[in-house]
Structure 1
């Protein structure tokens, strides 16, 4: 296999590499239940609905510590 006669400049190398690094903006759709923007063909992260049906319940966050529990530690 032939070798290059001259070294390619960093600019030429980086321009070639950067052509593949451009990111596409993901397409978004609206949830039919709550109207929030979500990825298509995915369960809504806000309400848990997909295709008009409830698939999963939204998980609640950790309950806050009470004052008594904080005093024990």
Structure 2
């Protein structure tokens, strides 16, 4: 899967901004907050949502450009070969 590595810090940052309501304060006012107490579970769920959306975008781009996608595992045999 393309999302099994580390989560980029920007993804975590965006999740925090969303959960704290910071990105919506221009629209709803400075006191707006999506949740009063944000838990690790909240952060994990939002991060998974963002990663899932990114996977969908990448799959769509690959499909639009007629790139075949094969699921599986492999390893580099040398500089130019995956087996």
State the TM-score, normalizing by the size of structure 1: 0.28
Higher helix share: 2
Higher strand share: 1
For the pair shown, the structure with the greater C-alpha radius of gyration is 1
State the TM-score, normalizing by the size of structure 2: 0.26
